[in-house]
Structure 1
Amino acid sequence: MLEMLMQWYRRRFSDPEAIALLVILVCGFGILFFFHSLLAPLLVAIVLAYLLEWPTTRLERMGCSRRLATSVVLILFAGILLLMVFFVGPVAWQQGINLIRDMPGMLNKLSDYAATLPKRYPALMDAGIIDAMAENLRARMITVGDSVVKFSLASLVGLLTLSIYLVLVPLMVFFLLKDKDQMINAVRRVLPKNRGLAGQVWIEMNQQITNYIRGKVVEMVIVGVVSYICFLLFGLNYSLLLAVLVGVSVLIPYIGAFVVTVPVVGVAMFQFGLGTEFWTCFVAYLIIQALDGNLLVPVLFSEAVNLHPLVIILSVVIFGGLWGFWGVFFAIPLATLIKAVVHAWPESVSREEHLS
């Protein structure tokens, strides 16, 4: 048994390039695990730098210097963000306040409807259970209200941190874009010399991450805009807020779509009842989700769909538990990274065995 383990170790870890790749991965995962909260501004800046690299490169190819191209792209991007903050933000915020304010009335309607169920289905429903469920919902609503107040107070404390981020992140994005080549060369100098396998994995993953971040932003915009138009056509209340939630939900594969369906269906049910309007709106929403999952995602993420859905869900759960939001956001690239390492590792082993 020991000899078999030693043979496995020699076959898998005798290649210096494999050891270098393992050291780089362990160090990278360790830094993210222990310091991800401190590195949050840098992670935001890296994501934005990946997103803005494409237009920056295009302007550079048109004859602009790297500094000028970076400045123009950042100014345009900041202008788009400000337009969204000043036009979309206040409306969505107000709709969120209205939704929280209307929730007690919605719960009362739900309680009244549930109270009629024991009379309609006496063999299936018990009045005591219905009353207990209604009381539990009211208690949870009180808890949610208290949490909202506490969150509002805590958010006031976090305004200073947010203001610092608003200064630091654009500066970091600017330097990441402008001095990209110098920074990459600086990182290469501290990496192990035998990094051929790590370089091979990095080339593949760099392109994957670029396509993933760009594709996620495009998917969020398309799904959010189409959902907003659909909700407006049906006259659904809180249409902009719900459309923003639907757009953001694409960040979490499968789980996000399931979670965001609850408020959409709940609002539609209380507004339209269980009539034709509700079912038409619900079917239209399902069509949007189906087109997103079966048409838009395969087009934008041709490599990511090669991952099994169970692998994607497990990646969201595991990496989300390790690194919170960033683990969820990068769940698919991290799963793809592991897949790329697993596929690349035997190639170096087989090459070594062939040479021997």
Structure 2
Amino acid sequence: MVQMFADWYKRKFSDPHAVTLAVILIGAFMFIYFFSHLLMPVFVAIAIAFLLDLPANQLMKVGFSRTGAVTTVVSGFIGFSLLALLGLMPVMWQQSSNLLQEVPQMITHGQSYLLTLPEKYPEFVQAEQIETLINLVKEKLLDWGQIVLKASLNSISDIVALMIYLILVPLMVFFFLKDKEELMAGFVVFLPKERRMASQVGREMNQQIMNYIRGKVIEILIIGAVSTVTFIFLGLEYAVLLGVLVGLSVLVPYVGATIVTFPVLLVALFQWGASAQFGYVMIAYAIIQALDGNLLVPILFSEAVNLHPVTIIIAVILFGGLWGFWGVFFAIPLATLVKAVINAWSTSQQESIGESR
């Protein structure tokens, strides 16, 4: 057993470049794991900087200086974000409040309907089963109410954190873009010279992450806008709120679409019942999801994602459990990172074997 482990160690870590890559990955993982809650504004700024790097480079090609291009792009991003927030937030807040006010009425109607099932289908549904289900739903609603109350009590600290984000994040984005080369050069100084594999993985992941972030933002905007317009056209209540939820659901592949289906279905069902209008809404929603998965995603992520759906779901569960929202958001790039590391390691081993022959 000891000899087998020793042979495995020699095969995998005989190359100093492989050791450097392993040390960098372990150090980065430990640093992010223990300090992610403190450095979250930095990670948000890095993600936005990846998003804005391409338009800044395009402006530089047409004659802008680096500082001028970065200033223009960051100012445009801030302006667009403020317009979106000021335009969407009041509507979403109003619709959320109205929906919460109607929840008790929805629960009462749902409970009344469930209590009629034992009379209609006595061979399939028992009254005891319905009562158990109703009690379970009530318990869950109480738990969710306590969570909402706790969140509201912590709203002051959340507002302070939001103010920090609104001030610090744009400043960091500006300097990350403006001084990109200097910052990268300063970081590389601390790395060992034997970093061929680490450089290979870094170049691959840099392109992957840029493609992924840009593609994901575009996907959110397209799906959110199309869903909102479709729901408004069909007369669905809370169309803006549900449209935004559908857009944000693409952050979590497969799982997000499944979860957001329930509020869309329930709102349409309580608004129209089992009618033709309800069917139109669900068909339109299904078409949007099908076009997203079969047309939009392949176009946006053809170069960024080449992973099996099971791998993506496992990555979402694993990295989401480790780092919450941002772990879910970066689950696919992180899974791609693991794949890139495996490929680099395999390539290094094959080269070593070829050289030995």
**What band does the TM-score fall into relative to the shorter chain?**
over 0.9
Could you tell me which amino acid in structure 2 is paired with residue 312 of structure 1?
I
Using the alignment, how far apart are the partners of 1:87 and 1:7 within structure 2?
Answer: 62
Which 5+ residue runs of structure 2 have no aligned equivalent?
none
Alignment-mate amino acid for residue 161 of structure 2: T
**Structure 2 CA distance, aligned partners of 1:99 and 1:292?**
27
**2:350 equivalent to 1:317:** no
**1:7 to partner: Cα distance:** 2.1
| Number of the residue aligned with 2:124 | 124
Whether 1:25 and 2:25 are equivalent positions in the alignment is yes
Deviations 1:15-54 (A, max 9, x none): 0111111111111111111111111000000011001111
**Residue 8 (structure 2) aligns with:** 8
Question: What is the CA-CA distance between 1:304 and the residue it aligns to?
Answer: 4.7
**Residue aligning to 2:193:** 193
Q: Tell me the equivalent position of 1:216.
A: 216
SS at match of 1:158: helix
1:97 and 2:113 aligned: no
Partners of 1:184 and 1:304 lie apart in 2 by 23
- How far the C-alpha of 1:297 sits from its partner, in A, is 0.6
**In structure 2, what is the equivalent of residue 272 of structure 1?**
272
Residue pairs, 1:1-356, within 5 angstroms:
1-356=1-356
What fraction of aligned residue pairs are identical, expressed as a percent? 51
C-alpha separation between the residues in 1 aligned to 2:9 and 2:324? 34
Cα distance, 1:12 vs. partner?
A: 1.2
Distance 1:123 1:304 in 2: 52
What is the letter of the counterpart of residue 70 of structure 1? Answer: V
Post-superposition offset of 1:330: 0.6
Distance in 2 between the 1:142 and 1:326 partners?
28
Q: How far is the alpha carbon of 1:140 from its aligned partner?
A: 2.9
Give the partner amino acid of 1:115: L
Moved more, 28-37 or 156-165: 156-165
Could you give the per-residue CA deviations for residues 284-318 of structure 1, whole angstroms, max 9, x where no partner exists?
10110011011111111114542111100000000
Aligned-partner SS, 1:306: coil
Deviations 1:108-159 (A, max 9, x none): 1101111110010001111122123223323433433333232122112321
* Aligned length, in residue pairs: 356
Secondary structure at 1:264 match in 2: helix
C-alpha distance in 2 between matches for 1:117 and 1:350? 65
One-letter amino acid of the counterpart of residue 263, structure 2: P
Moved more, 242-251 or 162-171: 162-171
User: 2:294 and 2:19 mapped to 1: Cα distance?
Assistant: 40
Quick check: 2:242–2:264 contact (8 Å CA) kept in 1?
yes
C-alpha separation in 2, matches of 1:231 and 1:224? 11
Segment of structure 1 superposing worse, 152-161 or 285-294: 152-161
1:351 CA displacement: 1.4
4+ runs of 1 displaced by more than 6 Å?
Answer: none
Segments of structure 1 that go 5 or more residues without pairing to the other structure are none
Whole-Å Cα distance in 2 between the matches of residues 138 and 20 of structure 1? 55
Deviates more, 1:139-148 or 1:114-123: 139-148
For the residues of structure 1 that align with 2:32 and 2:138, how far apart are their CA atoms?
A: 40
Rounded to whole Å, the distance in 2 between the matches of 1:181 and 1:286 is: 45
Distance in 2 between the 1:326 and 1:88 partners? 23
Matches of 1:137 and 1:100 in 2, distance apart?
Answer: 16
Mean Cα displacement is larger for which, 151-160 or 13-22?
151-160
Amino acid at match of 1:214: R
- Distance, in Å, in 2 between the alignment partners of 1:233 and 1:330 is 34
Name the CA distance, whole Å, in 1 between partners of 2:280 and 2:270: 14
What is the CA deviation profile of residues 239-259 of structure 1, one whole-angstrom value per residue up to 9, with x for unaligned ones? 000001011111111111111
> Partners in 1 of 2:155 and 2:300 — Cα distance?
35
RMSD: 1.2
Q: Which deviates more from structure 2 when the two are superposed, residues 184-193 or residues 122-131? A: 122-131
Matched letter for residue 212 of structure 1:
Y
Quote how far apart the aligned CAs of 1:2 are: 3.1
Mapped to 2, the partners of 1:338 and 1:135 lie a distance apart of 45
For residue 53 of structure 2, give the secondary structure of its aligned residue in structure 1.
helix
1:174-228 superposed Cα distances (whole Å, 9 cap, x missing partner): 1000000000001110111100111111111100000000000000000001101
Tell me the secondary structure at the aligned position of residue 103 of structure 2: helix
With the length of structure 2 as denominator, give the TM-score of the two structures. Answer: 0.97
Pair 1:203–1:112, CA change in 2 (3 A): same
- CA distance in 2 between counterparts of 1:270 and 1:308 reads 37
